[in-house]
Amino acid sequence: MLISTLKKRLNNISVSGRLYLLISLITLATLIGYGTLLFSDKSLFLIALSSFTGAMVLVLCFVLVKRIKCIFDAPEKIIEGQSSSSQEMVETLRIQDLSLQMAEQKIIRERRKREASEKAKQIFLVNISHEIRTPMNGVLGFAKLLEESLVNEDERESLQMIIKSADQLMAILNDILDFSRLESGDINFVNQPFVLKDTVRSIYRLMEPAAAIKELKFSYLIPEDMPVVLSGDAVRLGQILLNLTSNAIKFTEQGEVRISLHVVEKLADTVTVEFQVKDTGIGIPVDKHQKVFDFFEQVTNDTSRRYAGTGLGLSIVKRLVELQGGEVFLDSIVGTGSDFYFRLTFGRVTEQVCRKTLQLLSVLPDIPVETGKGVRILVVEDNPINQLLVLKLLEKRGYETTVAENGKIAIDEYRKGDFDIILMDLQMPELDGYEATRIIRMMEGHKGEIPIVAMTAHTIKGELEKCADIGMNDYISKPFDATELYQKIEMLVGSTAGGL
């Protein structure tokens, strides 16, 4: 126990303390040994004691040398150990850095691949939209022309089914394009004065025939305290209401569908309006209330088979409302009906802007049948079917028409002839509508100021702005409505002040 205690205490002594102890012991042993030999009577015991102390001196000296060597060797071992650890750490860091670089390169490759895929998808959607809209313009246009001339009721009904099917196809196409734009965030909202009542009434008139076929009571209600003119995006508002109303009529077999509005909040510069579309249809289970707003979702597979559709309508509504800072709500009971309502905030306009907006709308005439007499139109269109359709629509109103198959022929025709307005397709061989318009706008005098209306199947973002930038006065997308075409011509003919 004494030895272990001694060892423990020695281990607690510092290195310098140990060296000092060894040197002290060596010195003491040396003094005792040599002192004994020098000052003793040379007895056997004393000689033995002197020999023992000499041996102890040698042992202690050996221990001292070994201890000193350990002291000097220790830093080298520490340095070697540290060097080895440093090398291992450097190697580990190098491997980790290499792994990070490889991961970064992989992320960059994946991002580029995703961007390329997204770009390819956008190009595909633009092209497929153009390719579908071009023939659909012919299908719908000629079907509506033929509808007016048919007397036989069965034939007329069959033709109406063709028109209805074509309209449904166009609705699906528009849903897909809207989904693509919303998914990529590639969508803008305008802020312009509009008459709220006119926007709601246009949706009502558009959906009234569908409600009448199912013998539903269909109505709309706008309170008297609602501002007449507001500032916002009337087109997107109409799209939201159209989707909700179309859905309500689709899923209602009997009863009624009602559109109603009321003011939630009036401030000095803004008005928050709540729009409600209520029906007495099949209803939606509580656990599906949020799911119906997801892309490509319908309540059940049976719903999809029975009522058809893309499952995009409500999701588009939700995104359009939220992107404008609004909210969408749903109250529904299975077998009783559904109540969709949303809130949007619009800007308030001054009395002067209100009067001007109403005046502009009031001067739009109901175009008479012979309104086109004496008006010369250059139609620039490469598709033979669309050429024939536009010519028939224009000649029906008495317009004088000349056709050019591409931009190059159009320039030649325009240089040698006099026209009041040009209807310009954009995608054509030889010379497209963009370049043809630029050339016309560079002509001197009144030749460079003729009204030009873009007539295209493209509906991608920025197309309207692009047409305006190159000097076009207006824009009509295919398939176009004949009344809309007549109105645009009527508004522009006789004026070169144009502008979108």
Q: The domain that contains 296 carries what CATH number? A: 3.30.565.10
Q: Which domain holds residue 154?
A: 123-182
* Type of residue at 25: L
Count of beta carbons in the 10 Å neighbourhood of residue 403: 18
313-323 vs 234-250: helix axis angle to the nearest 10? 150
pLDDT band at 297 (very low <50, low <70, confident <90, very high): very low
pLDDT band at 234 (very low <50, low <70, confident <90, very high): confident
Helix ranges restricted to H, 418-495: 433-441, 463-469, 482-492
Question: β-pairing, 256-266 with 327-333?
Answer: unpaired
What token pair was written down for 185? 């965030």
Q: Do residues 348 and 227 lie in contact, with contact meaning Cβ atoms separated by under 8 Å? A: yes
Count of beta carbons in the 10 Å neighbourhood of residue 336: 13
Coil, helix or strand for 333?
strand
Helix ranges restricted to H, 191-335: 196-213, 234-250, 301-307, 313-323
Residues 250 and 320 in one domain: yes
* pLDDT value, residue 262: 93
Domain boundary among 312, 327, 362: 362
Residues 295 and 335 in one domain: yes
* Type of residue at 169: L
Residues 163 and 194 in one domain: no
Task: Read off the pLDDT of each residue in 104-108 and give the average, rounded to a whole number.
Answer: 88
Residues 480 and 387 in one domain: yes
Domain boundary among 329, 362, 395: 362
Q: Do residues 472 and 499 lie in contact, with contact meaning Cβ atoms separated by under 8 Å? A: no
* Type of residue at 246: S
* pLDDT value, residue 466: 78
* Domain contains 18: no
Q: Do residues 317 and 240 lie in contact, with contact meaning Cβ atoms separated by under 8 Å? A: yes
* Domain contains 44: no
Task: Read off the pLDDT of each residue in 12-17 and give the average, rounded to a whole number.
Answer: 58
pLDDT tens string 205-219:
888 888 998 899 999
Residues 438 and 388 in one domain: yes
pLDDT tens string 360-410:
665 444 444 556 678 899 999 888 888 888 888 888 888 899 999 999 999
| Whole-angstrom distance, CA of residue 316 vs CA of residue 12 | 79
296 backbone φψ class: left, alpha, beta (φ>0; ψ -120 to 50): left
* Domain contains 6: no
Residues 224 and 159 in one domain: no
* Domain contains 45: no
C-alpha pair distances (Å), 346 with each of 186, 191, 230, 265: 22, 9, 6, 11
Mean pLDDT of the chain: 76
Coil, helix or strand for 457?
coil
| Whole-angstrom distance, CA of residue 207 vs CA of residue 220 | 12
Residues 309 and 345 in one domain: yes
Indicate the DSSP class of residue 481. Answer: P
User: Structurally, how many domains does the chain consist of?
Assistant: 3
Q: Do residues 398 and 421 lie in contact, with contact meaning Cβ atoms separated by under 8 Å? A: no
**Which residue in this structure is represented by tokens 């536009």?**
390
* pLDDT value, residue 175: 64
Q: Which residues contact 388 (CB under 8 A, 6 or more apart)?
A: none
What token pair was written down for 58? 């040698």
**Residue (of 382, 359, 383, 401) closest to 485 by Cα position:** 401
Indicate the DSSP class of residue 236. Answer: H
pLDDT tens string 159-179:
776 776 677 677 667 666 666
Residues 438 and 463 in one domain: yes
Poorest-pLDDT segment among 12-26, 144-158, 328-342, 481-495: 12-26
Residues 346 and 468 in one domain: no
Residues 326 and 403 in one domain: no
| Whole-angstrom distance, CA of residue 18 vs CA of residue 20 | 5
Residues 448 and 317 in one domain: no
What token pair was written down for 397? 């109103």
* Domain contains 54: no
* Type of residue at 288: K
Chain centroid to CA 385: 35
**Residue (of 412, 455, 450) closest to 433 by Cα position:** 455
Task: Indicate which CATH number applies to the domain containing 404.
Answer: 3.40.50.2300
Coil, helix or strand for 214?
coil
* Domain contains 206: yes
What token pair was written down for 47? 């000689």
Domain boundary among 334, 362, 390: 362
Among 64-73, 107-116, 124-133, the range with the most confident prediction by mean pLDDT is 107-116
Task: Read off the pLDDT of each residue in 139-158 and give the average, rounded to a whole number.
Answer: 74
pLDDT band at 468 (very low <50, low <70, confident <90, very high): confident
* pLDDT value, residue 342: 93
Residues 142 and 250 in one domain: no
pLDDT band at 21 (very low <50, low <70, confident <90, very high): low
- Is 193 a residue whose pLDDT tops 80? yes
Helix (DSSP H) and strand (DSSP E) numbers for the chain: 14, 12
**Residue (of 403, 445, 395) closest to 423 by Cα position:** 403
* Domain contains 47: no
What token pair was written down for 413? 């025709």
* Domain contains 319: yes
What token pair was written down for 453? 């209306």
Indicate the DSSP class of residue 273. Answer: E
Chain centroid to CA 399: 43
Q: Do residues 258 and 220 lie in contact, with contact meaning Cβ atoms separated by under 8 Å? A: yes
Residues in the chain: 500
Beta bridge partners of 455: 476
Q: Which residues contact 469 (CB under 8 A, 6 or more apart)?
A: none
